[in-house]
Amino acid sequence: MSLIEQADVWLFRLLNHNLVNPAADDLMVFLTSGRLSGHIFVLAALFMVIRKGKTGFLVILLALLAVGLSDYTASGILKPLVQRIRPCFALDHVRLLISQPQSYSFASSHAANSAAVAVITWIFFHQGVLVEKLFTGLMIFYALSVSFSRVYVGVHYPGDVFAGMVIGICSAFLVYLVFSWLLKNIIQPRQIRAQRSSSG
């Protein structure tokens, strides 16, 4: 086992064994389960539409594209490529709070997807009024909490989670950069030409 893997296992045991509290178990299970906490994204989407109107639907679309890219990268490419066994199968005495997932461990798609949504939210809302800044902070905090919960419940190493967050961040910025390029170089020029032809 390499030094990095040893450090990853040590940190996993610290977070999964020592930095735990039975009072937080239900909260971590709630955060880590999309079936339980998925409605948070529905409420977030509703907030986006209320605050941004038609632009809110665009933000939701970009968030979905970023999630699709991050999820495919984490689960469709890296997991079968790296084939890292989850800690609940590889280590003894893991404090496992949910059923054992059968997929590989690296990288965490939960961390990737929640980070992707948080970054898209930050791009469009962090410079807004106070309520939008608070919304941005809550979405970032939620993404960090979901990522931490994956280690807490015993199904991911910290390294899996960190890699997932990097994937989510990069996916969100890539989607936004592609959208910005299309807007600047294709969509807006066509709109300008259409306006000129209609007025002329």
pLDDT in tens, 67-117: 999 999 999 999 999 999 999 999 999 999 999 888 999 999 999 999 999
For residue 119, pLDDT beyond 70: yes
Q: Identify the pLDDT of residue 36.
A: 77
Closest C-alpha to 142, from 121, 167, 163:
121
Q: Domain 23-199 falls in which CATH fold? A: Vanadium-containing Chloroperoxidase; domain 2 (1.10.606)
Q: How far apart are CA 154 and CA 149, in angstroms?
A: 8
Q: Whose structure tokens read 């389960």? A: 33
Percent of the chain residues past pLDDT 70, beyond the cut: 98
Q: Identify the pLDDT of residue 35.
A: 76
∠ Cα 75 95 108 (to 5°): 15
What H or E segment, with its residue span, contains residue 162?
Answer: helix 158-182
Are 170 and 67 spatial neighbours (Cβ–Cβ below 8 Å)?
no
Q: How far apart are CA 128 and CA 132, in angstroms?
A: 5
Task: Please state the rounded mean pLDDT for residues 58-75.
Answer: 97
Using CA atoms of 13, 17, 166, 119 in order, give the dihedral in degrees to the nearest 10.
-170
Domain segments of the chain: what residues? 23-199
Are 77 and 107 spatial neighbours (Cβ–Cβ below 8 Å)?
no
pTM for the structure as a whole: 0.92
Say whether the peptide bond before residue 115 is cis (omega within 30 degrees of 0): no
For residue 136, pLDDT beyond 80: yes
**If pLDDT is split at 50, 70 and 90, which confidence band does 192 have?**
confident
**If pLDDT is split at 50, 70 and 90, which confidence band does 200 have?**
low
Q: How far apart are CA 194 and CA 189, in angstroms?
A: 9
Q: Identify the pLDDT of residue 73.
A: 98
